[in-house]
Amino acid sequence: MNIFVIGHGGHSKVVADIIRTYNEYQIVGYLDNKYEEVQIINDEFCGPIRAARQLIENFTDVKFIIAIGDNKNRKSIVEELSLTFEYYTTLIHPLACISPTAKIGHGTVVMPYAVINADAVIGNHCIINSCSVIEHDSRLEDFVHLCPNSTIAGTVKIREGSCVGSGATIIPNKTIGEWTMIGAGATVIDHLPDNCLAVGTPARVKMNKKVNAG
């Protein structure tokens, strides 16, 4: 399978490492708006994100993965390209532990040593980072980002676009609103509203406004 990685920064290096664990996958290039036109660099196609549709016509069995940490940017790219789900691959590192009853959406990346337990549901274009834990019956909507070592207890709901910082914990049965940012090391013991920043132990809302959740 030919894969184009959308994004060519630090996060794309981690995603590329996961792709290389699959013998049947081959990275054929990177799409990033730092490139003005399609070109060959180190035997790989590199070009602007808008070139994705052109490349679909030139390659057989081609898939894309968005390797950009910022949740709003990932959503913007998905909307810009308007590709059907069949063109996005889902990447799961072989050292991740995934329950057979968990469900994982299109375009989502699961990093090494992540744990996704029974009947958890992960949306499309999410990032489940290294050593993060998602317990039973939790639900993550589209474009959610879990940073390394975050812990999501059972029956938690995280709505679209929210980000859980490194080492943060959400206790069971809580709901996190849309496009909310939970700071590193925070402990969430209450429901959180949309579009807020919550930090500390226990977590307290510091601001209520739209934030970039990357």
Whole-angstrom CA distances from 78 to 23, 71, 187, 190, 204 are 27, 11, 31, 32, 32
C-beta of residue 137 within 8 angstroms of C-beta of residue 153: no
Distance CA 64, CA 3 (A): 6
C-beta of residue 87 within 8 angstroms of C-beta of residue 64: yes
3-state SS string over 119-150? CCEECCCCEECCCCEECCCCEECCCCEECCCC
Catalytic: which of 11, 93, 136, 145?
Answer: 136
DSSP string, 153-189: -TT-EE-TT-EE-TT-EE-TT-EE-TT-EE-TT-EE-
Check if 136 is active-site: yes
| Residues tagged active-site | 136
